[in-house]
Chains A and B, each alone.
Chain A
């Protein structure tokens, strides 16, 4: 079950007694949790009937709370964050196994027969053991939702939703810029994205967020800067590219990290160049490169400004620099050198 489905359910007031939210994207977890609480409790009821644990309470406490009739006739919401109840078990000693087993039984009994007036939200960023009986009970009686990090292809949809909420629009080139930077990230953090969009919305004066706004305001984390740097490189703007590099290094990022991102990008440009020579359309090409189509298009466009041999040279030079940086033979100048030579 996806988080959007759950949100939809909650919106339609179909609220289950037990939720298990697990997975790495804690931003989504928080979002669903918030939605559940808001759907059940009014703002003034929160003080009395909302209980939040930041670690597992004892099972007895938990069941006790579940069975307590809420004050003033409302409903109980019990949130347990970072729960370890569903952790995969390793070879525990017998006694522990037994005790835990006993706890499990108690929980299973409670969860399978939840009083109407109580709701439980369990959340964790860790993996859960889906073979456990407890998990199956939660799944059948309530909802178990995995919060997966967003894939780049899904970001656009999320972005549109967020922009509507902010009552803003984003220029296509600004979106491309943002997504391009995101494409370099190993994992997209929605929390980060959320904050950045908030900021963008505050900065832009009109209704439309422009590319200039994006360039001004986006955090100068390496992914964003390297992407901008490659852009400057492909337009042969040596000065801008060097400036961006220096900003990064001055902020304390290790040259190797920047180098790694640069390598990835140059390699892709080269691949795009070679594949482009075979007259592949950008869609197939993007699929071959393993990037979304719009990024593929951008890379193809960028690659037109370089010759294949120049890209090869650059990649080789990057490899040498990588080695030399690691053995202490080169310093940042080596990266600057490569950038200058790519711009020529």
Chain B
């Protein structure tokens, strides 16, 4: 005998085997007991939830030789004929292919004849929403007052397409998606009875992906068992369902969660190179983000179609995001997906969207807020989280003046910390961790200013415009007998000025202006070089404890850049 698909072999044959639709089987059973059979039923619900099966069971229950009963025997000739589809009294009409008025008229003609074997003529009209308007109207009259021996069962996946006039004449039953648990236990039963070896986690995976439809679940199981002879494992199922494809979504989400811009872009590039459609990538990411949002809001949800049902993944990945971030992410991704339709180069909107997600909460409002908080901390000089055994925000004693010729190296600024306190490493690392307030700018004395102006003028007078353009970006902050210190805010002009040709040119001019040989020393403003002649004001030295997890936070990075800070790894005391 030809192979019969599992879902056909295991179609429920009585109400007790109907899975997950207790509210319907109870009602119908009671109706059969009390004899209150409606003349028209409307079964609505998603695919694979048991509409047609219920209709057939009901037909059998009505026509069973021992009936009407809520437990059709399935062995009498009537039951067998109905199961085999050869009964003269049960008409299964596929409305999708018999949707015209003529077919319905033919059907109406047969309605008036009494049943042949059983008590009732049962008309099962499947996919009834496909009927044309005219056909519906033709059906209407019959549906309104069918002879007492006729029962109509209309089944549909799209109840909203049924005209209200039909709707109000039927008793409507809503079939629900079947819960994962119920599908799983049914699958287990089927597997055991058909002698299939299937791992439990494989069953669970199938149940999760059946989307509430038992037929889908059985079909997947059927396919899995044909893969190879051995036990069906979760890996088999994953392969069959194409779930391996989900991994990249998770990886990409991880990168986004970690704000790892380069990894994100590389992964995107890899995906595009491997031939994935950009829009598809964006849409799938949006779906996943939606799942994360839903999961975050209500972790207990079970019945909603999620992009990936793996709860451990959802749990892990929804943690780094806030609800607002997820919403923004979905919006960004959706917009990008729309744009990608029209963009000449669709990967650009995708990249923009992903970058935006990586830089999330780098938003101005948020950033300003954090900055304000930081400033408040500095101004108040109050350690924010109280840290034991840490040199927190300690105003340092006055620093000794730095040696005159400050080079790239910072001041030996750090006064040895009091014993017992954890010292911050001296020199290099100490400097950045002190946040230098921008305010105390050393105003060049009138004298130096004048000299500087004259130097600059001289440069122009000599036709050295390019030199002027470069040097003018600096500022003369001190002028001693041997040395002029020029401070730059950016690296390039400083370095350029330091090169021999410019330097000698400027030194010559200085010599002209001041009448002495003067060496030019260039410093970078942010590098904390202290000009020899201007001892720095008291510098508050600040250490702020940073959570390692926040180390990559854009706000922090920005703060580090602005104040030239560095993150020092905290060492365990003692």
Interface residues of A (CB under 8 A from B): 27, 54, 189, 191-192, 195-196, 198-199, 202-203, 205, 216-217, 219-221, 238-239, 242-243, 246-247, 250-253, 328-331, 333, 336-337, 340-341, 343-344
Contacts and interface: CB of A to CB of B under 8 A. Distances in A.
A200 to B, nearest CB: 9
Interface stretch (B163-171, B415-423, B485-493): B163-171
Contact of A243 (B27, B38, B172, B304): B304
B294 A336 contact: yes
B304 A252 contact: no
B305 A344 contact: no
A195 B300 contact: no
B193 interface: no
A202 B293 contact: no
B389 interface: no
B301 A243 contact: yes
Interface in B528-554: none
B294 A250 contact: no
Nearest to A166: B36
Interface string B321-343: 00100010010001100100000
B159 A252 contact: yes
A251 B297 contact: no
Contacts of B168: 27, 189, 191-192, 195
A242 B171 contact: no
Contacts of B461: none
A185 B169 CA distance: 18
A251 B45 CA distance: 7
A236 to B, nearest CB: 10
Given A243-B301, A246-B303, A252-B159, 12 more contacts: A54-B141, A195-B170, A196-B172, A198-B171, A216-B23, A219-B172, A220-B44, A242-B304, A250-B46, A250-B177, A251-B44, A336-B290
A192 B31 contact: no
Contacts of A191: 168-169
B34 interface: yes
Interface string B305-326: 1000000000000000001000
Closest 8 pairs between A and B when the two form their complex, measured CB to CB: A239-B298, A191-B168, A238-B298, A340-B297, A203-B27, A216-B23, A202-B30, A219-B172
A337 B299 CA distance: 15
B46 to A, nearest CB: 6
Nearest to B169: A191
A195 B27 CA distance: 12
Interface in B163-202: 164, 167-174, 176-177
Contacts of A246: 303-305
B26 A203 contact: yes
A242 B330 contact: no
A328 B335 CA distance: 10
B286 to A, nearest CB: 8
A230 to B, nearest CB: 16
Nearest to A239: B298
A contact face: mostly helix, strand, loop, or mixed: helix
A278 to B, nearest CB: 33
B441 interface: no
Contacts of A329: 334-335, 338
B149 to A, nearest CB: 16
A26 to B, nearest CB: 8
B305 A199 contact: no
Given A219-B174, A220-B174, A341-B323, A253 B141 contact: no
Interface centre among B27, B36, B177, B303 (most CB of A within 10 A): B27
Contacts of B171: 195, 198-199
B289 to A, nearest CB: 9
Contact of B327 (A251, A252, A337, A343): A337
B137 to A, nearest CB: 11
A253 B164 CA distance: 14
B8 interface: no
A282 to B, nearest CB: 31
Nearest to B170: A195
B260 interface: no
B561 to A, nearest CB: 35
Contacts of B169: 191
A340 B177 contact: no
Contact of A331 (B31, B172, B297, B334): B334
Given A189-B168, A246-B304, A251-B160, A198 B293 contact: no
B376 to A, nearest CB: 28
Contacts of B304: 242-243, 246
Contact of B297 (A195, A198, A203, A343): A343
A252 B161 CA distance: 9
Interface in B255-309: 286, 290, 293-294, 297-301, 303-305
A73 B45 CA distance: 53
Nearest to B300: A239
A196 B290 CA distance: 35
A247 B298 CA distance: 16
Contacts of A205: 26
B160 A203 contact: no
A329 B339 CA distance: 11
A250 B335 CA distance: 24
Contacts of B157: 252
B158 interface: yes
Given A252-B161, A337-B293, A202 B31 contact: yes
A333 B164 CA distance: 29
Contacts of A333: 286, 290, 293, 330, 334
A252 B330 contact: no
A221 B304 CA distance: 18
Contacts of A250: 46, 177, 305
A203 B301 contact: no
Contacts of A336: 290, 293-294
Contacts of A27: 168
B158 A252 contact: yes
A333 B300 CA distance: 18
A242 B171 CA distance: 27
A330 B174 CA distance: 29
A5 to B, nearest CB: 25
B293 A199 contact: no
A189 B168 CA distance: 8
B211 to A, nearest CB: 9
A219 B156 CA distance: 14
Interface in B29-51: 30-31, 34, 36, 38, 44-46
A49 B290 CA distance: 66
A199 B176 CA distance: 16
A344 B323 contact: yes
A217 B338 contact: no
A54 B39 CA distance: 20
Nearest to B158: A252
Nearest to A218: B174
Contacts of B297: 238-239, 242, 340, 343
Nearest to A253: B160
A19 to B, nearest CB: 19
29 contacts: A191-B168, A192-B168, A195-B38, A195-B168, A199-B27, A202-B27, A202-B31, A203-B27, A203-B30, A219-B172, A219-B174, A238-B297, A242-B304, A243-B301, A243-B303, A243-B304, A247-B303, A251-B159, A252-B158, A253-B160, A329-B335, A330-B334, A333-B290, A333-B293, A333-B330, A340-B297, A340-B298, A341-B323, A344-B323
